Amino acid sequence: MKKTLIFCISSLMVLAFLSCGDKQVKAPATSSGGGDMAVQAINAQASGFSIDGFNGGGATMKQNEDFENMKNIVSLVKPLIEKIPDGYVMEITGHCAAYDSPAMQQSVSKARAKKVYDELKKAGAAESKMTYRGAGIDEPIPGLDPKDFKQRRVSFKAVKK
């Protein structure tokens, strides 16, 4: 129920963002970071998207529902990637809970990010506008126990190349 509500709210946010088209999002092209306003708008949208449901210690999804949620988020993130200005990319970041060794945490979080990166690529997102990385446990959700299963996720943020 919670995932459905989050998905619905996120979908409405993306629709509102996309309906604004070039009227609001386009920033003037200047040499002093003209894409910053567009990037801020994109990041405001992307911050609402997070893919969870990964099995502990891996990049596979727990249930078909979680896999479908990932596909839905991918379909919402792809239009944001298309709007990223030159000089920026969508960084897809994998995270994990505080289990196993730091090397395993890094490997698992990177595999999760790569899985979503590959799904975005399959959906037609430009490779030149995306990058991925594993954060391990270095960027936990504030207020949650580092071992909480909700730490196993993938997040999105537009960053400079």
Q: Please report, for the domain that includes residue 18, its CATH number.
A: 3.30.1330.60
Kindly tell me if the per-residue pLDDT of 33 is higher than 80: no
Task: Please tell me the number of Cα atoms within 13 Å of 1 on its side-chain side.
Answer: 0
pLDDT of residue 34: 52
Segments forming the whole domain that contains residue 60:
2-160
Q: Per residue in 42-80, pLDDT tens?
A: 999 999 999 988 988 999 987 788 889 999 999 999 999
pLDDT at 6: 47
Domains: count for the chain: 1
The answer to whether 91 and 157 are in contact (CB under 8 A) is yes
For residues 120 and 140, give the distance between their C-alpha atoms in angstroms, rounded to a whole number. 24
| 118-156 pLDDT per residue, tens | 999 999 999 999 999 999 999 999 999 999 999 999 999
